Chain A
């Protein structure tokens, strides 16, 4: 099942610089998109979401961009901090409260 794909398994970035994580999807029924952050031995923690009626949502250092025609979204983290080092998952659902379909994750390492 490749409905949600994160093509970059890992990303290394210098502290203070921008981290850009990408996610592609194939199911045009998806209406909500979410980013989760996961540390080892913990559950996914919600970061930010966007609905298909918007193309941008911002929350502090985190901004999600949605390009619906390209079926692509991205997460920008500015500035990156060492505590941001984790695995980031993109997820999508066709309606609020419905099942989430996850991407494979991108492991981010922020170097001091």
Chain B
């Protein structure tokens, strides 16, 4: 069964450093998303991406964040200068119109900012 994959599974970084979280969405999907879950809190939407551009972003997704689909398979989330409060699980998801409206989620990357 096709699945969304994410790497790395765990990333530890120092405050102020740049991190890139990587995702490989399901191959025929057209919409891509990043969500995050801070420990003990809700899963919250960060950004959606369609047709090679951002279609929607949340207030969290400020200038420190960027997304890119550098080739036909990868979808990345970059945090330019990490803060302590960026520590969270980051989930990538993908979707394509069809019989179901579900978004398929990857296993997540745990980001720890020290």
Chain B residues touching A, majority SS: strand
Contact A97 B4 (CB under 8 A): no
User: What is the interface residue range for chain A against chain B?
Assistant: 20 to 34
Which chain A residue shows the least CB distance to B102? A46
Selecting from A18-26, A64-72, A76-84, A100-108, the interface stretch reads A100-108
Tell yes or no: B65 within 8 A of A by CB: no
Q: Which residue of B lies closest to A104 (CB)?
A: B42
Q: How far is the CA of A97 from the CA of B94 in the complex (A)?
A: 9
Q: How far is the CA of A103 from the CA of B45 in the complex (A)?
A: 12
Known: A44-B43, A49-B101. A99 touches B33 (CB 8 A): yes
Residues from chain A with a CB closer than 8 A to the CB of B102 are 34, 46, 49
Please, what's the 1-or-0 string for A19-60, where 1 marks a CB less than 8 Å from any CB in chain B? 000000000000010101000011111100101000000000
Task: Decide yes or no whether A11 CB sits under 8 A from chain B.
Answer: no
Q: Give A100 to B105 CA distance when docked, in angstroms.
A: 12
Give Cα distance in the complex from A1 to B43, angstroms.
12
19 A-B pairs besides A43-B93, A98-B48, A103-B42 with CB distance below 8 A are: A34-B103, A36-B105, A41-B108, A43-B91, A44-B43, A44-B105, A46-B105, A49-B100, A49-B101, A89-B43, A96-B97, A97-B97, A97-B101, A99-B33, A99-B58, A100-B35, A104-B41, A104-B42, A105-B42
